[in-house]
Amino acid sequence: MRVGIDLDGVCYDFAASVREHIIRSAGRDPGRLGRHYPDPTRWEFYEDWDLTLPEFLDVCHEGVRAGVIFTHGAPFEGVPEAFDRIRAAGHTIHIVTDRRFGGPGLAEAATLRWLDAHALPFDTITFAADKTIARLDVMVDDKPANYHALNAAGVATYLLTRPWNAHVEDAHRVRDLLHYAEVIA
Residues 6 or more apart in contact with residue 138 via CB below 8 angstroms: 1, 2, 3, 4, 155, 156, 157, 158, 184
**CB 13 to Mg ion: min, Å:** 11
Q: Are 69 and 17 in contact (CB under 8 A)?
A: yes
The answer to whether 6 is a known catalytic residue is yes
d(CA 32, CA 64): 19
Nearer to Mg ion, 6 or 13 (CB): 6
Report, in Å, the least distance between residue 9 CB and Mg ion.
4
* Euclidean distance between CA atoms 10 and 115, whole angstroms: 14
Q: Which is nearer to Mg ion, 26 or 98 (CB)?
A: 98
CB of 164 to Mg ion, least distance (A): 10
Q: Which residues bind Mg ion (CB under 5 A)?
A: 6, 8-9, 142
> What backbone torsions phi and psi does residue 64 show, to the nearest 5 degrees?
-70, -45
CA 69/CA 31 separation, integer angstroms:
21
Whether 123 sits among the annotated catalytic residues: the reply is no
Instruction: Considering the complex, state which of residue 68 and residue 95 has its C-beta at the smaller distance from Mg ion.
Output: 95
Q: Which residues are catalytic?
A: 6, 8
